[in-house]
Structure 1
Amino acid sequence: MSTPTDSGRIDALRTTLTSEFEAQTARLTQLTADTGDPSDPHTQVALIATTRQSLEQITDALRRIAEGTYGTCERCGNAIPTERLEILPHARFCVPCQRR
């Protein structure tokens, strides 16, 4: 059962993730717009791929929040430390499981 502090932390992380989702969506829209920019096409493809990956990670984290599984390691089921989630809000694994 979550405490009011946990609920506030989750709400703050949800807000952060939602803002980041909106920023990444705008970035992807800008990157995929045909601007006639002659910049290196390989760089643009890499930026688009990275932005899409970021959007997937954010969407997955928001889904876990909605399902009530956010902050639980998907491999071992232990809680992911708050500090890790603050640094990497879309973390799916605790540090030991991530290392494996």
Structure 2
Amino acid sequence: MSIDHRAVDRSWLADLRASLADDFATQTARLRELTELSADTGDPSEAHHQAALLSATRRNIEQITGALGRISDGTYGACQKCGKSIPAERLEVLPHARFCVPCQEKHNR
């Protein structure tokens, strides 16, 4: 089953937008906490762990922001590489997906 990105159910998109906005707020709060807690403990493994958490949180925020932008501009659900519809199952699991599976596999190489 694929989503026709031109005729997506508006209530589903509204729910998705609200969910992504909540995720954005959560990730932003997490980033703020991680930034405030970034005091140097002298433990290299702790510093590495902290840096990894900061990086992952920033990446999550970027992905959420991108999905919200695609919803706003009407391109949500369309593969950014080939333009085909991204399957609904993929978007349910990965709501910030930018590519269909074949294009994602090519992008990862």
**CA root-mean-square deviation:** 1.6
- Higher relative contact order, chain-length normalized (CA < 8 Å, sep 6+): 2
Task: Quote the offset at 1:2 in angstroms.
Answer: 2.0
State the shift of 1:37 in Å. 7.3
List 4+ stretches of structure 1 deviating above 6 A. Answer: none
Q: How does 1:65-84 map to 2 (within 5 A)?
A: 65-84=71-90
Q: 1:29 aligns with which of 14, 17, 32?
A: 32
Structure 1 unaligned runs (5+)? none
Structure 2 gap segments, 5+ residues each: 1-5
Note if 1:7 corresponds to 2:13.
no
1:18 is matched with which residue? Answer: 21
Q: Is the 8 A contact 2:79 2:99 kept in 1?
A: yes
1:86-97 aligned within 5 A: 86-97=92-103
TM-score, L = length of structure 2 = 0.83
Count of residue correspondences: 98
